[in-house]
Structure 1
């Protein structure tokens, strides 16, 4: 029997904070965001990054075992709570780019 290969799913998200609110947004991400994903076995990478050129922007790189794991993350109660907790610091909705990883150093693709 041939093993079915399931492609991993990744996401690049741009979160724009209101002026001067990026540190407050990052505090929620470091606390609530990381707590939420710690219980998600299908979430392999969940990394926040400060934009070096825009003091209001946070970038996320996320990688999941498959599309079902991404859907479970996005539809979780923890993610809904995260959205409510970050709303006051956000300047609009996140911009999302969905990706399929092909090769990497340091990641199991």
Structure 2
């Protein structure tokens, strides 16, 4: 099966990006550690917007993405992040084509 990727933009309430990042560090990162199909789960701070966080996620296949998104732990993470979010996450689904350091 083909790998699948996700680019997610999370916009925190004004001045609450660090709070949002703390939830991601405390709950989100520990959750993905046990997901064998989650190959990359990288969080980035936007350099031009102090309230925005970006995720790049790479999964072994669509089933791995569905397992991640549908897990009970991700529901806990989503609820915990909710109090710091200004809007719903913006999700862009991708089909990887080429990359340095990654096999497709």
- Shorter chain as normaliser: what TM range? over 0.9
**CA displacement at 1:68 relative to structure 2:** 0.4
TM-align CA RMSD: 0.6
Specify the alignment match of 1:3 in structure 2: none
* Structure 2 Cα separation of the partners of residues 82 and 108 of structure 1: 29
Gap runs ≥5 in structure 2: none
Deviations 1:36-82 (A, max 9, x none): 00010000000000000000000000000000000000000010000
Specify the alignment match of 2:55 in structure 1: 60
Specify the alignment match of 2:37 in structure 1: 42
**CA displacement at 1:108 relative to structure 2:** 2.5
The count of residues paired between Structure 1 and Structure 2 equals 104
Question: Radius of gyration: which is bigger?
Answer: 1
TM-score, normalising length from structure 2? 0.98
Specify the alignment match of 1:101 in structure 2: 96
Deviations 1:18-45 (A, max 9, x none): 0000001001111110000001000000
TM-score, normalising length from structure 1? 0.93
Gap runs ≥5 in structure 1: 1-5
